[in-house]
Structure 1
Amino acid sequence: MPIPSSDRRTFLRTAAASLPFVASTGTVSALRGSSGVATKVNPIRLSCNLYSFNEPLMSGQMTLEQVLMFCADLGFDAVDPTGYYFPTYPALPDDSYVYQIKRKAFRLGLDISGTGVRNDFTLPDATRRNAEIDLVKKWTGVAARLGAPVIRIFSGTGKELPMNYNREEVTTRVVDAIRECTDYAARQGVMLVLQNHADFIQTADHVLNIVRQVNSEWLAVNLDIGSFKIGDPYEQIARVAPYAATWQLKENLFVDGKEEVTDLRKIMRIVHDSGYRGYLPIETLGKGDPRVKVPVFYEKVKKALTAITG
């Protein structure tokens, strides 16, 4: 009985992903094809941050399952669905639904490269801040059940801070909250990744200061290239890149506060030079149908990645 083409594609992608390889220090391992010619294994794979589909997902025009199918058909290796695309958020979804999404992704040949929550650790009120810590912990458990290796978190908006707030004091507050969450995440086998989001964290120094103070192997950075809006973003991205466990690649970034089209080859050079191995989630923003925008940006990113890595 012939195998349906959709299942065949899934099988071929899954089989290719499962081939073993051997890596040596400072080199990328190679596989030999039927011709006997060694070919490099690219340790960087593309994921789709599903915020790209925020409007159709939040309006009900597309379901999470439909978005997964779209991403699989396009050729993504993985997806990154934020927690608020699950029913009942911020309350936890039923495990049955979590496992349904996990199974759907697996059957489509997609990894789940991460998930995320909205949290604010800058809140002055300790009771509310503890509720934010509890939120992160609960969704870290969801990430573990989903099979997501990382969960994205934020420092916080800082919107409720007084005009004359002491940054060092608030940073300590954020560090203490994240440290408590990383201790829990370690027991779940999930890494926390702190996203720079042009809020309380505005510069490379801000994000690196927090990461270094927490000082946990279970905390890294979700490097959002579009959220450094002060100074030279490429210089700041390069400084943070060695601490990144995942990324968010965007169509535009800000040079001295001015929005410009991202130089993707420059970004890929930074990624390559940092020694990063893992997923590069892309995220399209702004108006327009993501079913049109995402494929266009996906091809641009793939082309830039190929130009650097070969």
Structure 2
Amino acid sequence: MNEERWVEKPQSTQSGRRDFLKTALASGPLLATVPLIGQSGSPTERAEMKNVRLSCNLYSFNEPLTKGQMTLEQVLEFCADLGFDAVDPTGYYFPNYPVLPDDSYVYQIKRKAFRLGLDISGTGVRNDFTLPDPARRKAEVELVRKWIGFAARLGAPVLRIFSGIGKELKPGYNRDEVTTWVVDAIRECTEQAARQGVIIVLQNHADFIQTADHVLEIVKRVDSEWLAVNLDIGSFKIGDPYAQIARVAPVAATWQIKENLFVDGQETVTDLDKIMRIVRQSGYRGYLPIETLGKGDPKQKVPVFYEKVKKALRSYE
């Protein structure tokens, strides 16, 4: 993800992009038959593209990083030795988060990654744009705006954000109203992102966003080329996740590939072949960060899942 993964809008106007998103909102599960904006060729031709690489979302190492069992530098070395092309270090793993780290440390990590042959495929923050208090939402916007600058200094092309943390609406508010809060906040963030050359990527996280329609509505309403999606395959927990992933895939600028996902709310092992088929048919180019969750030593879990994802990816190359 050291180059832009956003699907290009048409040369003429933004109307084509808006029309595409309308189609995405209304379309069925498989968007493989819907042409991507700014791309040509049949789905089969797009499926033959080979410029997709693997990154490690460092939340996989959350426990050793937060408990001081591994340093960020040691995790980078582990990922480089394993064979990853990139890493995605969330902002939580820098000293004193949510306070911005010293530039000297940011550049130290940036240099370390470069010397190890790793790209920085992205980074992320924790935010909540569903808070009823306008002053608190404004503070959340300022948090994201500050970390956009951090992403630019780190060399991360995308910054992951959330819509809001809570699944349940606050009493007295409806979904349309809260969605407007989220849209307005994200639009402010994209204005800052455009000035610093960082793409905001909205993560579906089974919080305020629970379905493909929720994701696509926000992206459509913000209507900025500096907003895309961080497609978290493990966070669609209603209905068929593969259908929802396929609907959102054409507007993804990065992903989170997980060991398990939820089919009709039941946790099941991810069908990686099916995921790679969706990736290819969507025309995606860029990094696929993987993320392992749950109990167990990530130094054992990450290599196993890395090999599984790599095998599935190669089967479509």
1:247 to 255, 275, 284: 255
The alpha carbon displacement at 1:25 in A equals: 5.8
Aligned residue among 211, 215, 218 for 2:223: 215
Aligned positions, number: 274
Q: What is the CA distance between 1:308 and its match in structure 2?
A: 1.3
Aligned twin of 1:151:
159
Q: 2:208 aligns with which of 182, 194, 200?
A: 200
- How big is each residue's C-alpha offset from its partner over 1:76-133, in whole Å with a ceiling of 9 and x where there is no partner? 0000000010001000000000000000000000000000000000000111111100
SS in 1 for 2:187: helix
For 2:169 and 2:213, locate their aligned partners in 1 and report how far apart those are by CA, in whole Å.
20
Is residue 119 from structure 1 mapped to residue 103 from structure 2 by the alignment? no
> How many percent identity over aligned positions?
82
Equivalent position amino acid for 1:75 in 2: G
Instruction: Give the letter aligned to residue 215 of structure 1.
Output: D
Residues in 2 aligned to 1:110 and 1:42: alpha-carbon distance in whole angstroms: 19
Deviation at 1:159, TM superposition (A): 5.8
Distance 2:232 2:133 in 1: 28
Checking the alignment, whether the CA contact within 8 Å between 1:123 and 1:158 is kept in structure 2 is: no
* 1:87 aligned to which of 70, 84, 95: 95
Offset of residue 196 of structure 1? 0.1
Local SS of the residue matching 1:62? coil
State the distance in 2 between where 1:293 and 1:138 align. 33
State the distance in 1 between where 2:267 and 2:166 align: 23
Deviation at 1:221, TM superposition (A): 0.2
Q: Compute the RMSD of aligned alpha carbons.
A: 1.4
Map of 1:15 onto structure 2: none
Aligned to 1:282: 290
96, 103, 109: which is aligned to 2:117?
109
2:276 pairs with 1:268: yes
Does the CA contact (< 8 Å) of 2:168 and 2:208 recur in 1? no
Instruction: Name which one, 1 or 2, has greater alpha-carbon Rg.
Output: 1
Query: Relative contact order (C-alpha < 8 Å, sep 6+): which is higher?
Result: 2
Counterpart of 1:303?
Answer: 311
Answer yes or no: is the 8 Å Cα contact 1:144–1:189 preserved in 2. Answer: yes
- The whole-number CA distance in structure 2 between the counterparts of 1:82 and 1:283 is 12
Q: In structure 2, what is the equivalent of residue 72 of structure 1? A: 80
- Is the 8 Å Cα contact of residues 155 and 201 (structure 1) preserved in structure 2? yes
Amino acid at match of 1:250: K
Structure 2's unaligned 5+ residue stretches are 1-38, 43-47
The match for 1:189 is: 197
Deviations, residues 34-75 of structure 1 (Å, cap 9, x unaligned): xxxxxx982000000000000000000000000000000000
Corresponding residue for 1:44?
52
TM-score, scaled to structure 2: 0.84
**Contact in 2 for aligned 1:124/1:161 (Cα 8 Å):** no
- Cα distance, 1:197 vs structure 2: 0.2
Tell me the amino acid that sits aligned with residue 70 of structure 1. F
Residue 42 of structure 1: SS of its match in structure 2? coil
Task: For residues 125-171 of structure 1, give each alpha carbon's deviation from its aligned partner in whole angstroms, at most 9, with x where no partner exists.
Answer: 11111110000000000000000000000001236842452100000
Gaps of 5+ in 1: 1-23, 28-39
